[in-house]
A = this chain, B = another copy of it.
Amino acid sequence: MTSSIGDSIHLSLFGESHGPAIGVVIDGLAAGIPLDLDQLQAQMEKRRAKGRLSTARQEGDQVEIQSGFFQGHTTGSPLCLLIRNQQQHSRDYEATKTLLRPSHADFTAFEKYGGFQDYRGGGHFSGRITAPLVAAGAVMLQILAAKGIRVGTHIARCAGVDDRPFPSGEPQLTQAIAALDQAPFPVLDREQGDAMAAAIEAARLEGDSVGGVLETAVTGLPTGVGEPFFHSVESVLASLLFSVPAVKGVEFGLGFAMSDLRGSQANDPFQMDGGRIRTATNHNGGINGGITNGMPLLVRTAVKPTPSIYKPQQTVDYARRENATLVIQGRHDPAIIHRARVVVDSVVAFGLCDLCCRRFGTLWQLEGFPRAFDRGPDLGV
Taking A208-B264, A289-B105 as contacts, is the C-beta distance between A25 and B1 under 8 angstroms?
Answer: no
Contact between chains at B362 and A363 (CB < 8 Å): no
Q: Does A368 contact B (CB under 8 A)?
A: no
Contact with B along A316-329 (1 / 0, CB 8 A): 10111111000000
Interface members, chain A 1-24 (any B CB < 8 Å): 1-8, 10-16, 19-23
Q: Which chain B residues border A2 with CB–CB below 8 Å?
A: 27-28, 77-78, 227-231
Residue of B1, B32, B269, B357 near A314 (CB, 8 A) is B269
Complex Cα distance, B74 from A115, in Å, reads 11
Q: Does A38 contact B (CB under 8 A)?
A: no
Residue of B64, B75, B262, B320 near A20 (CB, 8 A) is B64
Q: Which chain B residues border A78 with CB–CB below 8 Å?
A: 2-4, 12-15, 124
Q: Which chain B residues border A98 with CB–CB below 8 Å?
A: 378-380
The residue in A32, A107, A265 that gathers the most chain B C-beta atoms within 10 A of its C-beta is A107
Contact between chains at B228 and A105 (CB < 8 Å): yes
Taking A277-B107, A321-B272 as contacts, is the C-beta distance between A267 and B307 under 8 angstroms?
Answer: yes
Residue of B64, B228, B230 near A125 (CB, 8 A) is B228
Among A138-146, A179-187, A232-240, the stretch that binds chain B is: A232-240
Q: Which chain B residues border A234 with CB–CB below 8 Å?
A: 242-243, 247-248
Taking A228-B105, A381-B319 as contacts, is the C-beta distance between A67 and B269 under 8 angstroms?
Answer: no
Q: Does A80 contact B (CB under 8 A)?
A: yes
Q: Which chain B residues border A267 with CB–CB below 8 Å?
A: 102-103, 307, 309, 313
Complex Cα distance, B3 from A369, in Å, reads 25
Q: Which chain B residues border A15 with CB–CB below 8 Å?
A: 66-67, 77-78, 80
Q: Which chain B residues border A256 with CB–CB below 8 Å?
A: 213, 248-249, 251, 256, 302
Whole-angstrom distance from the CB of A245 to the nearest CB of chain B?
Answer: 7
Interface residues on A, range: 35 or more
Among A39-47, A54-62, A163-171, A290-298, the stretch that binds chain B is: A290-298
Q: Does A153 contact B (CB under 8 A)?
A: no
Pick 18 A–B contacts, CB within 8 A, sort by A: A1-B227, A2-B27, A4-B27, A12-B12, A14-B68, A25-B25, A105-B291, A108-B226, A108-B287, A114-B381, A210-B262, A235-B240, A238-B250, A242-B290, A243-B290, A251-B251, A261-B304, A266-B305
Q: Does A359 contact B (CB under 8 A)?
A: yes
> This chain: how many copies in the complex?
4
Interface members, chain A 86-136 (any B CB < 8 Å): 97-98, 100, 102-118, 123-125, 129
> In chain B, what residue has the closest Cβ to A74?
B116
Whole-angstrom distance from the CB of A359 to the nearest CB of chain B?
Answer: 6
Complex Cα distance, B125 from A227, in Å, reads 10
Q: Which chain B residues border A357 with CB–CB below 8 Å?
A: 361
Q: Does A137 contact B (CB under 8 A)?
A: no
Contact between chains at B209 and A319 (CB < 8 Å): no
Residue of B71, B212, B262 near A208 (CB, 8 A) is B262
Contact between chains at B212 and A259 (CB < 8 Å): yes
> In chain B, what residue has the closest Cβ to A309?
B263
Whole-angstrom distance from the CB of A366 to the nearest CB of chain B?
Answer: 9
Contact between chains at B280 and A314 (CB < 8 Å): yes
Taking A269-B313, A380-B98 as contacts, is the C-beta distance between A307 and B103 under 8 angstroms?
Answer: no
Q: Does A193 contact B (CB under 8 A)?
A: no
